[in-house]
Amino acid sequence: MRAAYIEELGGPDVIRHGELPTPRPGPTDVLVNVEVTAVNHVDTFVRSGAWRTPVAFPFVIGRDLVGTVAAASPGAPGFAAGDRVWCNSLGHAGRQGAAAEQVVVPADRLYHLPPGVDPVAAVAVAHPAATAHLALFTHGRLRAGETVVVIGGAGNVGGALVTMAARAGARVVATASARDAERCRALGAVEVVDRRDPGVLKRLREACPHGADLYVDTSAGNDLEGAVDLLARRGRVVLLAGMRTRPVLPAGPLYLKDCSVVGFAISQATVTELADAAAAINRLLAEGALRPPAVEPLPLSAAAEAHRRLETGAVRGKIVLRVTGAED
């Protein structure tokens, strides 16, 4: 089978495109014919070694897929050949990745794709939407009626955050560039502050007169001094990006307002947490409520190029690699 894989850790140039043996499923696995896979920042962390996780070479890269069940093992009830499915947790913790014509997926990490959902759109939102769900509900403990501030509301994760929070009954305030303000409003933000405004913190305070109950920064800036100042009593900051940032934590204001800061990485999520997120994502996909800001399809053979562009910041939206039916 064709695959995008690595034989050592390193930069994008270590990615190879070629033939590997077809994987063999275990007793609780499902063999999936992959149609499309997405390219995420976490994929570059695994490939480079920045994110330390067991990697057995040759190692197929990639986390997300949409495809069709080729065969289901006896210990994988609920799946049958021909089922349309998706997954967003391959390619780390010893599991081979998704960027291949056929992959093995543990049954508890595989989800049915709702009928009529575009596979390219689904794979593009699989990782960011799961990240957003975990940030808002698992770690952020969001409740209806609360005020949520989303820093970077027009991006992949940011757009999912705005959509999910608004649909959960929260009041959403987002930052974005002027060109993306209308998109954020369309997703459900009641206020959008220009992220390039030198007075952005002042504008956020004006938009949150009673403080923010939840603050999520997708931009990796992690300004904890500004965030804690903005929080309401018992407000929460959720950190999910900015691996190399070392912000100042204003401990006094934090504890005097009974506030908290929590961080999480989706790679640490349990299968139960991921399944809860997948159920919510499927409902939104079926309703047509989750859409990526932009999608650029490339062939599987362009995996190294996709990683290179992602690391240099030359991607707006999401790159999706077509595995079957692509001109390679």
Residue carrying structure tokens 């009830």:
77
Structure tokens at 275: 């399944």
- Each residue of 199-225: pLDDT tens digit? 999 999 999 999 999 999 999 899 999
Domain boundaries, the chain: 2-117+288-322, 128-267
Residue 325, pLDDT score: 59
Q: Cβ neighbours of residue 118 under 8 Å, at least 6 residues apart?
A: none
CATH code, 128-267: 3.40.50.720
Q: In terms of CATH architecture, what is 2-117+288-322?
A: Alpha-Beta Complex (3.90)
Residues 195 and 176 sit within 8 Å (Cβ to Cβ): yes
Q: What phi, psi does 210 have (nearest 5°)? A: -105, 10
Residue 310 has pLDDT above 60, yes or no: yes
pLDDT at position 328 is 43
Percent helix, strand, coil in the chain (nearest 5)?
35, 25, 40
Can you give the pTM of this predicted structure? 0.94
At residue 313, the pLDDT reads 87
| Secondary structure class of 5 (helix, strand, coil) | strand
| pLDDT tens-place string over residues 49-100 | 999 999 999 999 999 999 999 999 999 999 999 999 999 999 999 999 999 9
| Percent of the chain surpassing pLDDT 70 | 99
Question: What 3-state DSSP class applies to 258?
Answer: coil
The predicted-structure confidence for 225-246, as pLDDT tens digits, reads as follows 999 999 999 999 999 988 888 9
CA angle at 84 for the pair 78 and 89, rounded to the nearest 5° = 80
3-class DSSP assignment, residue 214: strand
Q: Percentage of the chain surpassing pLDDT 90?
A: 91
| Residue type at 238 in one-letter notation | V
CB atoms within 10 A of CB 80: 11
